[in-house]
Structure 1
Amino acid sequence: MNGDRVAARWCAGRNWLLAVLAAGLMAGCASGPTANPKDPLEPFNREVFKINDDFDKGVLRPVAELYTDFIPSPIRTGIDNAFSNVSDVYSAVNNLLQGKPARAVEDTMRVAMNSVLGLGGLIDIATPAGLPKYKEDFGQTLGVWGVPAGPYLVLPLFGPSSVRDTAGMLVDRQIDPSAYLDPVWLRNSLFGVRVVNTRASLLGASGLIEMAALDKYAFLRDAYLQRREYQIYDGNPPESDDTAPADEPSDTRQENQTLPTPPVQMPGGIRFGR
């Protein structure tokens, strides 16, 4: 039965991915080329982005604000720590797949320490003890293996991604222990809490972007792509060929500067392993 359940979950995820990619490719073919070569599906992506943004403003953000108002900070911190403890599981797997055994061992030690001494992960014991927190996912693993990112892709509800990272999300979901919880209502409830809790943690950052970005879509796209490259190369990405030299106009150089990490998109842009 468990094998059939896993197979069914893989098939459902695969069909969802194919549907999103097919819709994006059809939209891209119909709309023609765009200014950014990394975003050939921009017209389609902007439409999905607008739907996500409207959902965030109308539903998710108000719920996150209520959550912040009524749930005490210590409880929210405990929820953060518990989900972070789960993410260390697939971070360990991905570090191992990336050929980083030392990091994989540290992730495993974090899980053991926080699960046993930290009351199931509610208290982060490992970080004060000197064990660093890594955030590795299968999209990064594919990047380390040399798989190209492919076109930038905005996913319904999940937000900024790429073809490679979308495939990685499906794999990370299978590694996530919470994906196998029964009954179903408990699994779905935990996912809902994860979404709202993540969105609540980004309330301040999203407000800053609203004020700072003239084109929020382009800002989040460029920030996401730079952040993913930064993560894949562990903070030392290779120099890009399109980096502006020092004698270029200042506004051009500003466009090429590293952008801050954006708040993750809808619903909260939940990414397994991030």
Structure 2
Amino acid sequence: MNPHCSAVSIRPVMARWLSWCLALCLVVLAGCASGPNAHPRDPIEPFNRGVQRFNDGVDEAVLKPVATAYREVMPDLLRTGVNNFFANLRDLWSSVNAALQLRPQEAVENFMRFNVNTFLGLGGVLDVASELQIERTTLDFGQTLGRWGIPSGPYLVLPFMGPSTVRDAVGMGVEASGDLVMGMDHVPSRNSLYALRVVEARANLLRAGTMLDQAALDKYSFTRDAYLQRRDSQVRALIGRDDDAADE
């Protein structure tokens, strides 16, 4: 069978899936009334808990076993190269977001990192830029929206993707449309790289996931509060740096 014909193109599927998720969540939000004990930023908690149970089931059945086997079989040197490759792709998107946030220094640094690692680091497998002490600032489009005053909106658990907010979900949709992996024309290579990125990301979270299962009495509440606190802190840091620059 021709793999070019049988392989499923991830990019349009992801775009449709994100659009469907946002539409569904807006419908749920419109019809959901918060109870007296509801978290003020989580008005659709029953829906979100259901999605998290689904995600946990998929993780236990598929992602966690695959990620565990991947970590045990893959040599550390190769895993470092895989991490560097995908981090290099994120540097380019971080450069774009830094420019959108009017941060020329971070935009230039991340763009320099991408070029140095792409051309001198074998496509990003080697992190030459860090050896040259070129700073990395990881930024995403959800942070960019927050930097310009767009409110986060309610907490949202996305199928397969996990914790988010309405603002961050929109940001993920924009980033998916500009993802270099999803933009590849060769569908089998595109899907293979996407799967590798998912497995590598899950492998990096194995230890944290074990600690969370052992420490949290309510895994859902702990994850929600930690996610919202982290994202709020990131956006406040961006705005605070602008205030400091204005004072100077």
Measure how far apart 1:50 and its partner are: 0.7
State whether structure 2 residue 179 is matched by structure 1 residue 198: no
Deviations 1:102-151 (A, max 9, x none): 10000001001111111110011112221222111110000000000000
Matched residue count: 232
2:157 aligns with: 154
Give 1:33 shift. 5.6
What is the one-letter code of the residue matched to 2:20?
Answer: W
- The letter for the 1-side match of 2:60 is K
CA–CA separation in structure 2 for the residues paired with 1:124 and 1:26: 47
Give the C-alpha shift of residue 185 in structure 1. Answer: 2.2
**SS state of the match for residue 177, structure 1?**
coil
SS across alignment from 2:164: strand
| The one of 103, 127, 134 aligned to 2:106 | 103
- Runs of 4+ in structure 1 deviating by more than 3 angstroms, as ranges, are 7-11, 17-20, 31-34
Aligned to 1:16: 20
**Cα contact 1:27–1:41 (8 A) shared by 2:** no
Q: Is the 8 A contact 2:152 2:167 kept in 1?
A: yes
Inter-CA distance 74–20: structure 2 relative to 1 (3 Å threshold):
farther
- Match of residue 264 from structure 1: none
> Counterparts in 2 of 1:1-274, with a 5 A limit?
12=16, 15-25=19-29, 28-29=32-33, 32=35, 34-234=37-237
Compare the two structures and name the one with the higher helix fraction.
2
| Offset from partner CA, 1:158-197 (integer Å, 9 cap, x none) | 0000000000001111222112102222212111110000
Distance 1:14 1:116 in 2: 33
Counterpart code for 1:99? L
CA distance in 2 between counterparts of 1:76 and 1:8 reads 29
Shift of 1:155: 0.2
Q: Residues of 1 paired with 2:76 and 2:31: CA distance? A: 43
Q: Does the 8 Å CA contact 2:55/2:162 hold for their aligned counterparts?
A: yes
TM-score if structure 1 supplies the norm length? 0.78
CA distance in 2, matches of 1:46, 1:146: 28
C-alpha deviation, 1:211, in angstroms: 0.7
SS at match of 2:129: coil
Q: How far did residue 229 of structure 1 move?
A: 1.2
Quickly say closer, same or farther: Cα 1:37–1:182, change in 2 above 3 A: same
Structure 1's 68 and 175: CA in aligned 2 closer, same or farther, altered over 3 A?
same
How far apart, CA to CA, are the structure 2 residues paired with 1:27 and 1:200?
A: 37
Percent identity, aligned pairs only, is 48
Residue pair 2:21, 2:158 contacting (<8 A) in 1 also: no
Instruction: Provide the rounded CA distance (Å) in 1 between the counterparts of 2:108 and 2:98.
Output: 9
Question: CA 1:201 to 1:123, structure 2 compared with 1: closer, same or farther past 3 Å?
Answer: same
Aligned partner letter, 1:40: P
Secondary structure of 1:233's counterpart equals helix
8 A Cα contact 1:49 1:154, kept in partner: yes
SS of aligned partner of 1:153:
strand
User: In structure 2, do the counterparts of structure 1 residues 171 and 157 end up closer, same or farther at CA, with 3 Å as the change threshold?
Assistant: same
Q: C-alpha displacement at 1:35, in angstroms?
A: 2.4
CA distance in 1, matches of 2:37, 2:154: 12
Structure 1 stretches of 5 or more lacking a match?
238-274
| TM-score computed with the length of structure 2 as normaliser | 0.86
The SS at the match of 1:104 is helix
Q: CA RMSD in A?
A: 2.4
Aligned partner of 1:251 in structure 2 is: none
**Contact 2:15/2:176 (8 A) holds in 1:** no
The one-letter code sitting in structure 1 at the alignment partner of 2:58 is: F
What CA distance in whole angstroms lies between the structure 1 residues aligned with 2:76 and 2:15? 39
The 3 A distance-change label for structure 1 pair 113 and 44 is same
Q: 1:27 to 1:107 in 2, by over 3 A?
A: same
Kept after mapping to 2: 8 A contact 1:89/1:176? no
